[in-house]
Structure 1
Amino acid sequence: MFFGLCIHDGTWKSAVYGFGDQSNLKKLRNESNLKPVPIVGSKLKRRWPISYCRELNSYSIPFLGSDVSVVRRTQRYLLENLEQSPVQYAAYMTVGGITSVIKLMFAGLFFLFFVKFGIGRQLLIKFPWLFSFGYFSKQGPTQKQVTLSFVYSS
């Protein structure tokens, strides 16, 4: 585990339950029959699923969290209720070198397999540190990790 990369398991649980219930969420979204938010300006250029970011000297992949959905709902609200122009949004995360990309792909496939089954979700929730290679824990980051992470990011 790296010095500043320990995250409380609340985020992990959200991912486990969110991905585990993805089919129901898709069904609910289809039933809502909401028309898409209009695109203002030129359409945002999408990156490849794995792309190299020269500015950060690192590879990046699409962020699979709920951020895009939350931003989309916010843009809908702002357009329909406050008559504000919507913005386009995409979320990516950097993952380091190509070796990290490959490791993350295998871990992601493993995770997606486990969340499909009740026993798999139970194991993922009970042992977040094991299945996340130490990145998530029930205790969250230590004070030293928080301090070092703050110093590193400043």
Structure 2
Amino acid sequence: MQLGRLHHVAVICGDYEVSKRFYTEVLGLRVVAENYRAARNSYKLDLALPDGSQIELFSFPDAPPRPTRPEAQGLRHLAFEVPDVQAAAEALAAQGVAVEPLRIDEYTGRRFTFFADPDGLPLELYEAEPGTPPGAVPS
């Protein structure tokens, strides 16, 4: 078996309209498709990043809240590569999103920070290697 790249990540949200606005307007992800699934009383929103990878945003009635601290087993966070972490963090803060102080990855020397989506899912901004064009897919 040979895996290519990450195709999509699925996220279940508590308030569909709030999360849709956050992922499209705050983070700027492009809507690929939006479907209401009447049999499940659920929306499925497909969102694309510039490299083609996607986030599937789901709404399910009465989904339990996400465990926070201590961290539970399973998916820890989603990380997005950006050309300038400081600028991206400032853009989020300007829209009222709480962003943690910038840190330096002790192994790569690159800057990163964390923030959360409306349901508390940890999201990371990780600085691209210098000279990497936005959305570039490594070979």
TM range, smaller chain: under 0.3
Hey, which of these two has a bigger chunk of strand by percent? 2
> Structure 2 length as normaliser, TM-score?
0.24
Of the two, which has the highest radius of gyration? 1
- Report 1 or 2 for greater relative contact order, CA contacts < 8 Å, sequence distance ≥ 6: 1
Hey, which of these two has a bigger chunk of helix by percent? 1
